[in-house]
Amino acid sequence: MTQKQTIRSGLPDSLFFLCMSIIGGSYVLLIVLLLLADVAYMLQGAGWREIIFANPMVLALAQPEIRYSVVLSLISCTLAAVLSLFVAVPVGWLLSRFRFRGRNLIDAILDIPIVLPPLVVGLSLLILFQFWPLTARIPILGKSLNELVVYQIPAVILAQFAVAAAFAVRTMKATFDGINPRCEQVALTLGCSRAQSFMRVALPEAGRGMLTAFTLAWARALGEFGPLLIFAGATRNKTEVLSTTVFLELSIGDLEAAVAVSLIMVFAAVSVLLITRIWGAKDVMI
């Protein structure tokens, strides 16, 4: 008896993996080079004394307007992420567990903030607040919602939330898709209401996904720029956040301050991503 051997055609496996690694590694290398370029620009021509005592990031943080933008960014991104999670959990659960008329349409609508150009999102928010009843004066406050929100701090949070919530919804839907609904069904047969089965079974199981959704929404809110510029403006010590600080510093020709603020944002984003990778849901795909 002769043993038949399978003849493989095409590229050898080693060459195939090498090609795939080169293609993928080139993009990874590009990202690393971008980060290294920022760091190298800040450190060029600086001795160790300047690095320690006159670090550009430290000097940037010494400016009161940049300190204000850091504080406002932390507060607004956190509030936007909390609101995003508050919306994403029920929406993700409903889309994952039920099949109803119009589900595909709603699912597509939720992707609109992701695919729309950021400036269009900001412009749409600005136009929305030009319509009644948002322009009607509130007797108790003496102002309309338009006056209270547009080009004010609430506009910063709303603009960040409008985009970040879409990413949180996608994450939570993927999270609930990965949770076996049988446990919830068993809870219903044991006498739990739908709300009790959700709170006691589904929600604890989705804890890691909720952390992932929160951190991704926070990071997305931090990097938002277009909607903020249109809907909230970039007024110093008022609606200025880190992303608009980079724009303002570039507009006055202070490249060092812009790069320093960019590095602060990179550090914050990398920290959030590390939290997501370590404690978040590793199997969630967006």
Residue 285 has pLDDT above 50, yes or no: no
Asked if 198 and 184 touch (Cβ cutoff 8 Å), the reply is: yes
Asked if 250 and 178 touch (Cβ cutoff 8 Å), the reply is: no
What per-residue confidence (pLDDT) applies to 80? 95
Asked if 227 and 121 touch (Cβ cutoff 8 Å), the reply is: yes
What per-residue confidence (pLDDT) applies to 6? 52
74 is a domain residue: yes
11 is a domain residue: no
Question: Do you find a cis peptide bond into 139, omega within 30 degrees of 0?
Answer: no
Domain that holds residue 81: 55-279
12 is a domain residue: no
Q: Which residues pair with 144 in a beta bridge?
A: 137
48 is a domain residue: no
C-alpha angle with apex 127: 142 to 157, nearest 5 degrees? 70
Reported as a single tens digit per residue, the pLDDT across 143-200 is 888 888 999 999 999 999 999 999 999 999 999 998 888 888 888 888 888 888 888 8
Question: Total domain count for the chain?
Answer: 1
Query: Residues 9, 11, 16, 18: is their CA dihedral positive or negative?
Result: positive
Reported as a single tens digit per residue, the pLDDT across 210-269 is 999 999 999 999 989 989 999 998 888 899 999 999 888 888 888 878 888 888 888 888
111 is a domain residue: yes
The region of weakest confidence among 51-65, 79-93, 165-179 is 51-65
| H-assigned helices in the chain | 13-43, 48-53, 56-61, 64-97, 103-109, 112-115, 118-128, 145-149, 153-177, 182-189, 194-197, 203-205, 207-222, 226-227, 242-251, 255-279
27 is a domain residue: no
200 is a domain residue: yes
What per-residue confidence (pLDDT) applies to 14? 82
258 is a domain residue: yes
pTM equals 0.84
What per-residue confidence (pLDDT) applies to 51? 54
What's the CATH code of the domain at 201? Answer: 1.10.3720.10
Residue type, 76: S
Report which DSSP code applies to 201.
I
Give the model's confidence band at 78: pLDDT under 50 very low, under 70 low, under 90 confident, else very high: very high
Percent with pLDDT over 90 in the chain: 35
Rg for the chain, CA atoms, rounded: 24
> First CA to last CA across the chain, in angstroms?
53
Asked if 210 and 275 touch (Cβ cutoff 8 Å), the reply is: no
